[in-house]
Amino acid sequence: MQVEDSREAEKQVRTQVAIIGAGPAGLLLGQLLSRAGIDNVILERRDRDYVLSRIRAGVLEQGMVDLLQEAGVSERLGREGLVHDGFSLAFHGVLHRIDLEELTGGRTVTVYGQTEVTRDLVEARQALGRPTIYEAQDVALHDIDSASPRVTFRKDGQLYELACDFIAGCDGYHGVSRASVPAAALHSFERVYPFGWLGVLVDRPPASHELVYAGHERGFALCSMRSAERSRYYIQVPQDERVEDWSDEAFFDELRARLPSETAAAVTPGPSIEKSIAPLRSFVAEPMRFGRLFLAGDAAHIVPPTGAKGLNLAASDIRYLFDALHQHYNEGSDAGLDGYSARALARVWKAERFSWWMTNLLHHFPERDGFDGRIQQAEFDYLKQSRAACTALAENYVGLPY
């Protein structure tokens, strides 16, 4: 980032790609661009500690693992990531294992916390000496439909203007990027679920060596992990639930009430080191491009975490966007940029479908009548008896091709 002559009360800076947001999408794009010699600046609203402290996703598709390897940030992932070749569904106390590796011809997923992915990317960026402007305030996008887009922001009271060729909007669901697109140019699709996930992180061994997704009339529960010593558990709670209303003891009692007895018996309660409630929604904004602004990750779409797709969709968006920018700068072709939105949305909608389907299969919808409960039971019975049904689930869970 070069600092050009400063105008009155304003510093002029320039880069090739301005990235808004230092979450996994923004950091991964920045890493790939930097290694390809394409200048970029990341503007992040929060401070570094906040970015590094967020507890979110836990399951990586192979496509994301491969992309992190290409970005040169997979060394710790290779050492500490847990490769999983299957997981279990439980329905009203009955367990059914989905053999991912056998059903998909050898494909697996890797359990490795998003927090660790973010740390690896932040440290790699620092090692490359690439600029991330933390605590950038009042970020605003200008002239995004022109050949000279600009981003203004305040840092330590100083107003800056960042001139660039392209803007990557990687600032999540509540960011400024999607909000900068004229309403008439954007078409949004949304489904808000009448419940959230109360998640707990605890330094106790996991209840099972694989993930267990449990459907129960009391509500959904998930047994996941971060390592052999650290577990991640979730239970479905009403939409308006408050985390302070849940003691650790009440959480573990409710969790075990929803699990098959053998799984419940293997849960080791302990003091939570993180406890939070995430709302569940399905959301897509179309198109994912407006002029020189390209949306990626949660800035463009949200999935309920049931299918473990949110983080992985951010990765496939970045695969497409990086390839398109690389093609622009190195081959002088804009075919990738012009095709980005349609290509990304084709994969996004398939993941939206899968996440919506898994959420409807496993959650208790209080406002629904007995018919839906019977349909859920029939879905589960069909999965238990049909290899074709399990194969369809497995190929979506490991991740459809990029």
Kindly determine how many residues on this chain lie close enough to bind ligand PHB according to the rule CB under 6 A. Answer: 9
Identify the H or E element spanning 199. Answer: strand 187-202
Place of tokens 């053998």: 262
User: Minimum distance from CB of 331 to ligand FAS (Å)?
Assistant: 27
Q: Which stretch binds ligand FAS (CB under 6 A): 62-70, 303-311, 325-333, 393-401?
A: 303-311
Site for ligand FAS in 141-200 (CB under 6 A): 170-172, 175-176
- Contact letters (x/-) for ligand FAS, 312-351, by CB under 6 A? --x-------------------------------------
213 is catalytic: yes
Point out the catalytic residue in the list 160, 193, 213, 234. 213
Q: Which is nearer to ligand FAS, 64 or 383 (by Cβ)?
A: 64
User: Minimum distance from CB of 56 to ligand PHB (Å)?
Assistant: 7
Q: Which is nearer to ligand PHB, 57 or 151 (by Cβ)?
A: 57
Kindly list the strands in the beta sheet with 11-14, ordered across the sheet, starting from the edge strand earlier in the chain: 2-3, 11-14, 158-163, 150-155, 137-142
Query: Which are the contacts of 376, defined by CB distance < 8 A and separation ≥ 6?
Result: 91, 215, 360, 361, 362
Regarding 400 and contact with ligand FAS (CB under 6 A), the answer is: no
How far apart, in whole angstroms, are the C-alpha atoms of residue 402 and residue 344? Answer: 9
Query: Which are the contacts of 354, defined by CB distance < 8 A and separation ≥ 6?
Result: 307, 309, 396, 397
Place of tokens 């996440």: 355
- Contact letters (x/-) for ligand PHB, 194-233, by CB under 6 A? -----------------x------------x-------x-
Instruction: Kindly write down the DSSP assignment for every residue of 272-304, as one continuous string.
Output: EEEEEEEEEEEEEEE-SEETTEEE-GGGTEE--
Among 59, 65, 168, 255, contact with ligand PHB (rule: CB under 6 A): 59
Regarding 308 and contact with ligand PHB (CB under 6 A), the answer is: yes
84 is catalytic: yes
One-letter amino acid at 46 equals R
Site for ligand FAS in 58-87 (CB under 6 A): 58
364 is catalytic: no
Site for ligand PHB in 93-122 (CB under 6 A): none
User: Minimum distance from CB of 59 to ligand FAS (Å)?
Assistant: 6
User: Minimum distance from CB of 353 to ligand PHB (Å)?
Assistant: 15
Regarding 309 and contact with ligand FAS (CB under 6 A), the answer is: yes
Among 23, 26, 58, 86, contact with ligand PHB (rule: CB under 6 A): 58
Query: Which are the contacts of 365, defined by CB distance < 8 A and separation ≥ 6?
Result: 194, 372
How far apart, in whole angstroms, are the C-alpha atoms of residue 309 and residue 303? Answer: 7
φ and ψ at residue 49, rounded to 5 degrees: -60, -40
User: Minimum distance from CB of 251 to ligand PHB (Å)?
Assistant: 15
Rg of the chain on CA atoms, in Å: 22
Across-strand partners of 272? 202
Point out the catalytic residue in the list 309, 328, 363, 364. 309
Active site amino acids: 84, 213, 305, 309, 397
